[in-house]
Amino acid sequence: MVDNKIPEAILKEARGMISGSTDQYLKNQGLKFILADKKQNMAEVKIKLDDKIYTKNIKRELVNYKEKHFYTKKITNNIVYFKVPVWRNIGQVLEQKLAFFFKNGVRVLIIDLRGNMGGNSAESDIFTSHLFRKKVLFGTAEIRSSNKNLKLKKHYYFINPSEPYWNIPIILIVDSECFSSSELFIAGMKDNKRALVIGETTGGGTGNPRKFAIPCGKLSLELFVSTWNYQRINGQSIEGRGVEPNIFISPILDDLLKGKDVVLERAVLEAKKLI
C-alpha cells in the first residue's frame, strides 16, 4: 500500500487523468502515479513479504527532467546498438554512424526506440532509405482534402531507396511509449520484413494530431485531435491498437530490482543468430 491506498485503486484513479487509446499505454503511464503526489511529502509504503508487513517512508521530490540524447555503443565486434530517443535532427547522424560501422565490419544493428514518442518522419526516412533496394510502401493515410468539407483523400507513404544500400539485419526494441513517427517506422519495417521487433506492443497513437488550447481557469487544457486515419500495408490501423512485436518480452519487478535489461539481452541473443 502507498499512503493507505492499494496500488490498483491508484491506477484506476490515474487512468481518468491520462489521455491514451490503448490499455498498454494507460497502464504504463499509470504506474508513474503510484508513488507520485502533488506535494513534496513523504510516501508511506507498506510491503507484505513472507507474511510480514514492512513499512518504509520514501521522500518525494520534484522531477528534474533531462532530455535524453542519441548514443551508440558496440556490443560485440559485429553488433552495434543505437539509442534513438526522438526522431528530431537525427536522420543524417544515423546515416553517418551506420555508414561508419558498416564499413568497419558491423553486421547487425540494434535500434532501441523505447520511450521514443515520435517527431518528424522525414528524419527516419533519411536513414530508412538506405535499408531498401527498391521503392517500398510503408502505409496509407486518409486525410481531409480541404478545410471546407469532410471529404477524405488517400495519401501513400513510400520509402524511396538511396545509395549506398546497407544489407544489414535490423532489430528494433520497442515499448508502449512508442508513438507517432516511431510507430510508422516500426510498422513499416516489420510489415516489409526488414526488421525483427522485440519488446512490448507500441502505444497506438499515430494520428498526426493538431493541438488545441482551451482556457480552463488558471490552467490551459490541451486537446489533441487526429488529422488522419493511418493504415499499415496489412490493412490494420495503428490508432488504438499499436504494433505488436515479433517477440514479446517485458521486464518484471525482479529484473528492475537487479538492474537487468532483459529486452536488450534478448535482442543481443537474436542478433548473434543473424551473424
Domains identified in the chain and CATH numbers: 7-59 (no CATH), 71-273 (3.90.226.10)
Q: Is residue 115 predicted with pLDDT exceeding 80?
A: yes
pLDDT at 69: 83
Q: Decide if 218 contacts 156 (C-beta within 8 A).
A: no
pLDDT digits (tens, 9 = 90+) for 2-33: 888 888 888 888 887 777 778 888 887 888 88
Q: Is residue 253 predicted with pLDDT exceeding 90?
A: no
| Distance from C-alpha of 94 to C-alpha of 81, rounded to nearest angstrom | 11
Q: Which three cell numbers stand for residue 225?
A: 485531435
pLDDT digits (tens, 9 = 90+) for 215-244: 878 777 777 777 888 999 999 999 889 999
pLDDT at 227: 83
The larger pLDDT score, comparing residue 265 to residue 209, is at 265
pLDDT digits (tens, 9 = 90+) for 130-164: 999 999 999 999 988 888 888 889 999 999 999 99
pLDDT digits (tens, 9 = 90+) for 44-93: 888 888 888 889 888 888 777 677 789 999 999 999 999 999 999 998 99
Average pLDDT over residues 248-272: 93
pLDDT at 188: 98
pLDDT at 267: 98
- Backbone φ and ψ for 19, nearest 5 degrees, come out as -90, 115
| Distance from C-alpha of 158 to C-alpha of 136, rounded to nearest angstrom | 6
| Distance from C-alpha of 40 to C-alpha of 60, rounded to nearest angstrom | 5
pLDDT digits (tens, 9 = 90+) for 183-211: 999 999 999 999 999 999 999 988 777 88
pLDDT at 19: 72
Cα–Cα nearest to 173, from 161, 160, 185: 185
